[in-house]
A and B are shown apart, each in its own frame.
Chain A
Amino acid sequence: MSTPILPARTFRRRPAPSLLVPPALRAQHRRRRIRVLLFLSPWIVGFGVFLAYPLVMTFWLSFTNSDMISTPHFVGLRNYRYLLHDDPLIWQAVRNTGWLMAVMVPTQVLFALGVAMVTARLKAGAGLFRTVFYLPALAPPVAATVAFVCLFNPSTGPVNRALGLLGVHGPLWFDSPTWSKPALTLLTLWGSGTMMVIFLAALLDVPAELYEAAHLDGAGPLKRFRFVTLPSISPVLLFATVTAVIATLQYFTQAMVASQTANGNIQASPGFPGGSTLTFSQQIYVAGFNQFHMGYACALAVVMFAVAMAFTVVLLRRGSGFDIEEAAK
């Protein structure tokens, strides 16, 4: 090594003290960096091929009339204009997705938290109950949805029969525009075992001394929950909410399978009954894969990405217990 002057770029990027590092050590650093890069390269390739490239292409295709078969032509903002002014079903899809976010997400978080709190306190049979509540999360979404729709069949399903025995006139569930989304919410609650397990772990992590101290200070169960439990688990609560919001924005499989199973018609258009279960991501699928409007589907996907990003950022900034400044460091 006989070159004392480093190239300008390197000089600017490196902090000054590195100039004082002996050449041998510098070579070692460099080798280490190369090794790190090499080990990272599968991820870099994967990131490029499966994330960065599709993202860029999606953004570009959203300004074209692509059908993914013939050569796409640039059409400017036409797809976005269609989204805002002309798409007959998109606002219904937005409303449905909004309903799911406003009702399904909080219900799911509260339900999972409630179950976790109960199972965390259990003295006997805790393992059994935790298993029982977690089990539904293992069922494949399609199978679980089909089974659920059959259970809730208004005329032959056992749920309405049981309700009938109690003298309750059961609703049409998946066959009624009013009840289809609540029925989907029940399905989500039934399958929220993963969230429950995360809450359970967080709850069991809260130091017992804090509860003892609060108890000594005269705090009742509600106050203990408000001032001990909640602050301790708030990062987990935030994580669960953010992931649930993103999952709901992309809600697809259950709504698709439920409407097709309930309708029983092979040519069913998604959203049965009456468009009540049509979600934003279903509309992307229909536009792109059934109607040859891939350009428009890409525009929808871009909007969904932006909305998911906005929700995540807002939630993370608002969420107590998760300091974004701290995270940045």
Chain B
Amino acid sequence: MFLHRRTPAGSPSTRNSTRARLAAAAVVPALALALTGTTAACSAGGGSTAKADTGAEDTTPVTITFWHGLSSPHEVASIDAVLAKFHQKYPYITVQAVKAQDDDKINQAIRGGTAPDVASSFNANNVGGWCASGAFQDLGPDIAADHVDMTQIPQAVQSYTAYAGKRCTMPWLADTFGLYYNKKLFAAAGITAPPKTMTELADDAKKLTVRNPDGSIKTAGFMPYFGAYEMLTEHLLPSWGGSWLKADGTSNTASDPAFVSALTWQKNLVDWFGADKLAKFKAGMGDEFSAQNAFETGALAMMVDGEWRTAFIKNDKSDVDYGTAPMPVADDKPDLYGSGFVGGNVIGIPRGAKHPAAAWKLVKFLTTDPDAVASFADAIGNVPTTLAALDSPDFTLAKDPNFATFLEVFKNPKTSTTPASPNGGAYLTNFGPFADKWQNGKVPDLKAGLADIDKQNDAALKLSQ
């Protein structure tokens, strides 16, 4: 009605202009929104990609946001403690920590132009994508300007936190994998030491397995079924010294004999148990991160897992009498014994960060300050990612022999990881269903299957170019 009053019946030209104005009223907001959308989509908020370093002298009070994935109360308290130390050192920087953030949320925020100043992730699979696309800023200039000593970070750790020569993340504690074994069940089966080769592992697994009268599994000596907790191809492959990608980033599954050896070993053990019996047993295993974890309840005598389990066993008040050892290795690769798989948390500065200079100070502090790294690793039971922190007297967990195993594995020069790729580890996603089919006997020709995986991985890689 107000429109009626504003434009009483006038000449055709008035009429036309009214119509135009009306159309504009309807279209302009849409267009404006659309344009904002386009800008956001194409430049991810248009944040500075070049370093806007204001220098170390700039002490203007600033508040930065920091997203991390930790969520349980004791972990959040540990974060708060280390951030308090940071604030003590840089009183003019206040950190607003946001818990329980995952990679999907980080990607969304970067795409939407609402990225935090600092973001961390539990797994390094996305590092390749983040570096290649520029979603995370290149930290190289800052590292050079501050003369950060990168040699204090082990080589394998350096490799999963950078991609194609671009360091867009720093390692923030690591996860190292090894073998957990139940000492009580070992003694009952007359086994005196943890297995060192894959043949020994299979033999011990058979000795330790107890079945119900109907043939179903009561206690599993080892769980060879892929997808059960941390039993994944990527955690098994280092025992054969296999590598996923060639130096040029193309797929290596068919060319590397390690894949055939590892998968054959695994399938033989699966067949001994019976794939359907393992599937049923797996479905009945309690939640991995709960006190019902099958190893913690004694239903699983051996398993491959990360160093964090030592803290969970303690926190869950499990009475399992256990020991840890490096993962057994292929019979023909004894020199690999002592090494293992390492992966870890990464931290960086997303594109669109509002205070990159202050953000870098936080990243540097969390990842290279020996006290900060050691005390935080101690608090949440992870492996520190700098040599100084590893040897620090503040790092009390090193005195626990079950934890020390993982520190040794971590320091081993042959310890390896999954390589970064620009498509967020699509080569692992492609492999998952294949491994599942393989263990259920649905892959008639292993070599042909692996060649197919190569083709798929390489085609996916081309999509990113």
Q: Determine whether the beta carbon of B9 is less than 8 Å from that of A37.
A: no
> Within 8 Å of chain A (Cβ to Cβ): is B464?
yes
> Within 8 Å of chain A (Cβ to Cβ): is B88?
no
Most chain B Cβ neighbours within 10 Å, of A78, A86, A268, A295: A86
Q: Determine whether the beta carbon of A274 is less than 8 Å from that of B436.
A: yes
Q: Determine whether the beta carbon of B433 is less than 8 Å from that of A69.
A: no
Contact partner, A273, options B22, B41, B134, B436, Cβ 8 Å: B436
The stretch of A131-139, A202-210, A285-293 in contact with B is: A285-293
Q: Which residue of A lies closest to B38 (CB)?
A: A57
The stretch of A110-118, A249-257, A259-267, A309-317 in contact with B is: A259-267
The stretch of A151-159, A184-192, A223-231 in contact with B is: A151-159
Q: Determine whether the beta carbon of B232 is less than 8 Å from that of A88.
A: no
Question: Do A289 and B107 contact each other (CB < 8 Å), given the known contacts A53-B34, A65-B463?
Answer: yes
* Docked complex Cα distance between A27 and B8 (Å): 9
> Within 8 Å of chain B (Cβ to Cβ): is A89?
yes
Q: Determine whether the beta carbon of B464 is less than 8 Å from that of A293.
A: yes
* Docked complex Cα distance between A49 and B462 (Å): 32
> Within 8 Å of chain A (Cβ to Cβ): is B255?
no
Contact partner, B34, options A48, A72, A269, Cβ 8 Å: A48
> Within 8 Å of chain B (Cβ to Cβ): is A142?
no
> Within 8 Å of chain A (Cβ to Cβ): is B73?
no
Contact with B along A194-231 (1 / 0, CB 8 A): 00000000000000000000000000000000000000
Q: Determine whether the beta carbon of A274 is less than 8 Å from that of B440.
A: yes
Contact partner, B463, options A49, A262, A269, A296, Cβ 8 Å: A296
The stretch of A97-105, A120-128, A170-178, A233-241 in contact with B is: A170-178
> Within 8 Å of chain B (Cβ to Cβ): is A74?
no
Contact partner, B3, options A38, A88, A154, A268, Cβ 8 Å: A38
Q: Determine whether the beta carbon of B135 is less than 8 Å from that of A293.
A: no
Q: Determine whether the beta carbon of A172 is less than 8 Å from that of B283.
A: yes
Q: Determine whether the beta carbon of B423 is less than 8 Å from that of A27.
A: no
Question: Shortest distance in angstroms between A73's beta carbon and chain B's nearest beta carbon?
Answer: 9
> Within 8 Å of chain A (Cβ to Cβ): is B104?
yes
Q: Which residue of A lies closest to B276 (CB)?
A: A172
Q: Determine whether the beta carbon of A48 is less than 8 Å from that of B463.
A: no
Q: Determine whether the beta carbon of A264 is less than 8 Å from that of B287.
A: yes
**Interchain Cβ contacts within 8 Å, total number:** 187
Question: Shortest distance in angstroms between A135's beta carbon and chain B's nearest beta carbon?
Answer: 28
Contact partner, B29, options A6, A45, A289, Cβ 8 Å: A45
Contact with A along B93-120 (1 / 0, CB 8 A): 0000000000010010011000000000
- Which residues does chain B contribute within 8 Å of A291, judged by CB atoms? 129, 423-424, 426, 429, 460
> Within 8 Å of chain A (Cβ to Cβ): is B15?
yes
Question: Do A265 and B229 contact each other (CB < 8 Å), given the known contacts A69-B351, A79-B463, A156-B284?
Answer: yes
Question: Do A175 and B133 contact each other (CB < 8 Å), given the known contacts A275-B436, A293-B460?
Answer: no
Q: Determine whether the beta carbon of A38 is less than 8 Å from that of B22.
A: yes
* Docked complex Cα distance between A57 and B38 (Å): 9
* Docked complex Cα distance between A88 and B452 (Å): 8
* Docked complex Cα distance between A49 and B38 (Å): 12
Contact with A along B223-243 (1 / 0, CB 8 A): 000011100100000000000
Question: Do A274 and B463 contact each other (CB < 8 Å), given the known contacts A45-B29, A45-B30, A67-B129?
Answer: no
Q: Which residue of B lies closest to A67 (CB)?
A: B133
- Which residues does chain A contribute within 8 Å of B440, judged by CB atoms? 177, 273-274
Question: Shortest distance in angstroms between B412's beta carbon and chain A's nearest beta carbon?
Answer: 24
Contact partner, A290, options B232, B282, B288, B424, Cβ 8 Å: B424
Q: Determine whether the beta carbon of B44 is less than 8 Å from that of A69.
A: yes
> Within 8 Å of chain B (Cβ to Cβ): is A68?
yes
Q: Which residue of B lies closest to A149 (CB)?
A: B283
Contact partner, A87, options B29, B134, B459, Cβ 8 Å: B459
* Docked complex Cα distance between A289 and B11 (Å): 55
Q: Determine whether the beta carbon of A289 is less than 8 Å from that of B279.
A: no
Q: Which residue of B lies closest to A43 (CB)?
A: B26
Contact partner, B433, options A71, A156, A275, A295, Cβ 8 Å: A275
Most chain A Cβ neighbours within 10 Å, of B29, B133, B440: B133
* Docked complex Cα distance between A37 and B133 (Å): 43
Question: Shortest distance in angstroms between A131's beta carbon and chain B's nearest beta carbon?
Answer: 33
Question: Shortest distance in angstroms between B380's beta carbon and chain A's nearest beta carbon?
Answer: 17
Q: Determine whether the beta carbon of A44 is less than 8 Å from that of B433.
A: no
Q: Determine whether the beta carbon of A69 is less than 8 Å from that of B423.
A: no
Most chain A Cβ neighbours within 10 Å, of B19, B34, B285, B442: B34
Interface residues of B in 264-299 (CB under 8 A from A): 276, 279-285, 287-288
Most chain B Cβ neighbours within 10 Å, of A1, A89, A153, A267: A267
Q: Determine whether the beta carbon of A92 is less than 8 Å from that of B433.
A: yes
* Docked complex Cα distance between A7 and B13 (Å): 10
- Which residues does chain B contribute within 8 Å of A87, judged by CB atoms? 456, 459-460
Question: Shortest distance in angstroms between A283's beta carbon and chain B's nearest beta carbon?
Answer: 10
Q: Determine whether the beta carbon of B227 is less than 8 Å from that of A41.
A: no
Interface residues of B in 1-29 (CB under 8 A from A): 1, 3-4, 9, 11-12, 15, 18-19, 22, 25-27, 29
- Which residues does chain A contribute within 8 Å of B191, judged by CB atoms? none
Q: Which residue of A lies closest to B234 (CB)?
A: A267
* Docked complex Cα distance between A289 and B133 (Å): 13
Q: Which residue of A lies closest to B456 (CB)?
A: A88
- Which residues does chain A contribute within 8 Å of B12, judged by CB atoms? 3, 6-7
> Within 8 Å of chain A (Cβ to Cβ): is B437?
yes
Q: Determine whether the beta carbon of A269 is less than 8 Å from that of B429.
A: yes
> Within 8 Å of chain B (Cβ to Cβ): is A193?
no
Interface residues of A in 165-183 (CB under 8 A from B): 172, 174-177
Q: Determine whether the beta carbon of B3 is less than 8 Å from that of A35.
A: yes
Interface residues of B in 33-49 (CB under 8 A from A): 33-34, 37-38, 41-44
> Within 8 Å of chain B (Cβ to Cβ): is A278?
yes
* Docked complex Cα distance between A92 and B437 (Å): 13
- Which residues does chain A contribute within 8 Å of B432, judged by CB atoms? 268-269, 271
7 contacts between A and B (CB under 8 A): A86-B460, A177-B436, A265-B229, A269-B432, A271-B433, A275-B437, A292-B422
Q: Which residues of B does A touch, CB under 8 Å?
A: 1, 3-4, 9, 11-12, 15, 18-19, 22, 25-27, 29-30, 33-34, 37-38, 41-44, 104, 107, 110-111, 123, 129, 132-135, 216, 227-229, 232, 276, 279-285, 287-288, 351, 422-424, 426, 428-430, 432-433, 436-437, 440, 442, 452-453, 455-456, 459-460, 462-465
